Structure 1
Amino acid sequence: MKVNEMVMVIDNHKGIEKNFLCSFENFVKNHMSNACENFWEVAEMVTELEHTKDKDNAFCEMYFAPNKTMYARFCSGVNELRLFIAGKLNDGMTNVFEEDFCDKECLDVLFRLGISTDRSMAASKWPHYEKLESDFTQGEIYHNFNGSDYRLIEKYSGRNMLLMDVHSGQFVVGVGVDCFARYPQGEDRQSSLCEEGIEWGSGIYLGNTPSTINFSQLRKEYGIEKTIDTIDDYRASLNERFETYYTLAKNESISDSVREAATNAMYEEFGTGKRDTFITRRNAGEYDSGFAGMVAVEKNRGR
């Protein structure tokens, strides 16, 4: 069994919540079928449970009686699993973790991961990390072992890159990014509990408003510095900046506020949100005044 195949269940009975873990099959058979009156209700509830995979902190709700309600969601990863066992996902009510209610295969996963059920959140054994080779492709989404997923917005160098949390829209420069396989001690990459993800030596967090971020300065500070000697070099740098804004503005998987901020920044700097219009204006030299300013600065430095 994999971590993301487990169902985290909160059983609320008379204001006391009991947390436990079970497989999808047993959850449907032993719990969901008792809350639903017919097959169609079961099908609807299964669909709602499946949707919890795509939403942070979203639980589907099953009503049994005025004083009994059950909530459930698929586990998204080891970090969320620890929080659930510790009662950090409950709504402040009195809650306990009921090991006796859990499926044996779920408890086996906890044992292999070294996760205690005593709510201390302490690990009895730490996982093994194996470094992997990765080319890191711009636009791809990478999982971080902190529990978040990040889209690679721009590579500055081999291991320095601009990333964006796909859920919150938070931008971060990852310095010294590496890819790892993580699995329990005593196992290997063939383990059902093996995860692949990225880690960085340090992260510079920039907020989630593109218009307040100096992308040019980030490229200079964390990338292999590109010299701009000709008008073609300058126009190429404009392409990169426009594409960064455009990609964010059109990405429906990120928050509306981030998309709006990217759109505003694009219009403010380039006067358009259309790629073909930008290319036409760029080729016509409408943005070249910025290059003239750079040349003037370089001449002054040489005096």
Structure 2
Amino acid sequence: MVVENRKGTETNYLLNLTDYMEAALKLWGEHAEDMAGAIGTLYGTKEGRKDWSDLYFAANKSIHASFCGSEPQLREFLSGRFNDGEWSFDAERCSKDCLDVLRIYNMKPDGHSLFPYLHYEPVEHTFHAGEVLHNMNGNDYRVLAALSPQNLLLMSMRDSQIIVGNGVRFYERYPKGERPDSDSMVTGIEWDHGVYLGNDITRIDFDILKQEYGEPDRVENVSDLRDKIRKDFWMQKNVEQKEGLPERVRNAARDCLENTFGTSEPDVFDKMLDRGMYDGMYHAKEEQKKISGQAR
């Protein structure tokens, strides 16, 4: 997203990174050696360290740019939400692939819907932990755990909000009456409703979530019980191991494993599971500590 300010009049347009660098180089002229620093500042907007990268070429000429992080943010940009005064959108200066993105997300350059009617085609999909899903509301979510085939524990990629998506389904969306193709079709999810749990994972009780939103486990013998316990362990272990999650989320998952199973180490867990130490429901603290100490 680029805002060019000339004498107080702002022009908005969309560029990919290559086109942005070319445009900035033309404006920098003999100061092009400073471009690396400018790109570094721009990447700060992608990492959340700042909202906009600012380049000043003269007292009355500047460029302000930011990586677009979500569909709602893009709509705000197109509607002038980030402008201070008189502004316009110049589609002629946009990168072609950016205009293609607008079409895919059913947007006109003013942020309004391009097609009045859209068709949603259900698609069979098996959700798995670590997968990043695009919600048709414009936000992206990482799957922390599949509690059941259609109930997912999700984390918002925008603000780390933890959500239970209840009744999640996968769709292909395209303009009604048109033949779907790569230029017009978007894949993503919708859910019946979401349960918002905040962004402090340490306050989330995974056992209650499984009871409320997971499929009931049939426990008819010791083998079934141990399979269930193993599944519970790995549901949280997968969160702890998943790269790309905030460190505090992974640390909280590890703490939860330690508190529930007495260890976060799979080999230690397997030893205790095989010895039947969880058969009475998880806790035999002194023996757990002894085995954990031997393994470490």
Q: One fold, TM greater than 0.5?
A: yes
Q: 2:53 maps to which residue? A: 60
Q: 2:89 maps to which residue? A: 98
Q: Letter of the aligned partner of 1:265 in structure 2?
A: C
Q: Which consecutive unaligned segments of at least 5 residues does structure 2 have? A: 284-296
- Offset at 1:67? 4.7
Q: 1:139 aligns with which of 130, 139, 143?
A: 130
Q: 1:79 maps to which residue? A: 72
- Offset at 1:166? 3.8
Give the secondary structure class of the aligned counterpart of 1:264. helix
**Superposed CA RMSD:** 3.5
Count of residue pairs the alignment pairs up: 282
- Offset at 1:197? 0.9
How do 1:1-303 and structure 2 match up within 5 A? 8-13=1-6, 17-22=10-15, 24=17, 26-35=19-28, 37=30, 41-42=34-35, 45=38, 49=42, 58-76=51-69, 78-88=71-81, 90=82, 93-94=84-85, 96-99=87-90, 102-103=93-94, 105=96, 115-117=107-109, 121=112, 125-185=116-176, 187-290=178-281
CA–CA separation in structure 1 for the residues paired with 2:85 and 2:246? 34
CA–CA separation in structure 1 for the residues paired with 2:264 and 2:4? 50
- Offset at 1:181? 1.9
Contact 1:210–1:265 (8 Å) recurs in 2: no
Residue by residue over 1:217-274, the C-alpha shift from the partner in whole angstroms, topping out at 9 and shown as x without a partner, is 3323323311223233222222222222222223341223322322222222222222
- Offset at 1:101? 6.5
Residue by residue over 1:52-97, the C-alpha shift from the partner in whole angstroms, topping out at 9 and shown as x without a partner, is 5665975433232345431223445543321111233x2x733523
Q: 1:296 maps to which residue? A: none
Rate the CA distance shift 1:192–1:53 in 2: closer, same or farther, 3 A.
farther
CA–CA separation in structure 1 for the residues paired with 2:233 and 2:268? 12
- Offset at 1:100? 6.8
CA–CA separation in structure 1 for the residues paired with 2:198 and 2:58? 44
TM-score by length of 2: 0.76
Rate the CA distance shift 1:279–1:116 in 2: closer, same or farther, 3 A.
same
Contact 2:19–2:95 (8 Å) recurs in 1: no
Contact 1:19–1:95 (8 Å) recurs in 2: no
TM-score by length of 1: 0.75
CA–CA separation in structure 1 for the residues paired with 2:176 and 2:260? 52
Contact 1:149–1:165 (8 Å) recurs in 2: yes
CA–CA separation in structure 2 for the residues paired with 1:291 and 1:16? 66
- Offset at 1:9? 0.4
Contact 1:152–1:164 (8 Å) recurs in 2: yes
Residue by residue over 1:141-186, the C-alpha shift from the partner in whole angstroms, topping out at 9 and shown as x without a partner, is 2221223322223333332222222443322222221111223455
Rate the CA distance shift 1:195–1:52 in 2: closer, same or farther, 3 A.
farther
Contact 2:130–2:242 (8 Å) recurs in 1: no
Identical residues among aligned pairs (%): 33
Q: Letter of the aligned partner of 1:234 in structure 2?
A: L
- Offset at 1:199? 0.9
